[in-house]
Amino acid sequence: MDLRRLRIGDLVRVLAVTRAEYNDQNQRIVVREELSEPNLGYVVGAARIQIGEYSGAGLTGAGLTAKTTTSSPPFLIVKGVVTVWLVRFGLLNRPVKVQDKDAKLEIRLDLLQRASEKFPLLDQKQPPMPESCRSFLREWASNRKRDERGRWVKE
């Protein structure tokens, strides 16, 4: 999978979602679930799903006798890795995993447009405050009642 094909913030059409699960032979596999209808979502990152064989707790060490048995924690014997895109369908939704073949690019926002959306102060198009308004606000603030420490008090 080419990780440069999509960028964070791209709008994609999702045809199916992917998840990892264990089958009856204790193998971790990737399951692809088709959606009833394609859904639009934003790319928020990428992830890797490890696939392989799950080994439960068992005896470790060579030549162990019944008195000296030790058990090991369960672990996954990794036989492969599947790279997927993380896509969110909404602001509060959890990201879902989507394979590269199931994510179709719809809209790519350019960098300046993305920056102005994330940082609206960079893209202000309003004129500066006129001096008459500034002088009015200065006078109003100076006429307010203050306590001994200089803080405004409620009137």
**Residue 64 has what pLDDT?**
43
Min mean pLDDT across 5-14, 34-43, 58-67 is at 58-67
pLDDT of 48 above 70: yes
pTM of the prediction? 0.62
In this predicted model, what pLDDT tens digit does every residue of 71-85 receive, in sequence order? Answer: 678 888 999 999 999
CA pair distance 71, 69, nearest whole angstrom: 7
CA pair distance 12, 46, nearest whole angstrom: 14
**Residue 126 has what pLDDT?**
62
CA pair distance 29, 148, nearest whole angstrom: 71
In this predicted model, what pLDDT tens digit does every residue of 85-117 receive, in sequence order? Answer: 999 998 888 999 999 999 999 888 665 565 556
pLDDT of 153 above 50: yes
Looking from the CA of 48 toward its CB, the CA atoms found within 13 Å total: 8
Cα distances from 147 to residues 62, 138, 155, in angstroms, run: 81, 18, 12
The amino acid sitting at 1 is: M
For residue 152 the two structure tokens come to 């405004």
Chain-wide mean pLDDT for the chain?
A: 82
For residue 130 the two structure tokens come to 């006129």
Please report, for the chain, how many H helices and E strands are present, in that order.
Answer: 2, 5
Cα distances from 67 to residues 56, 64, 74, 98, in angstroms, run: 21, 8, 21, 49
- Is 98 within 8 Å of 6 (Cβ atoms)? no
For residue 47 the two structure tokens come to 């992830």
- Is 65 within 8 Å of 95 (Cβ atoms)? no
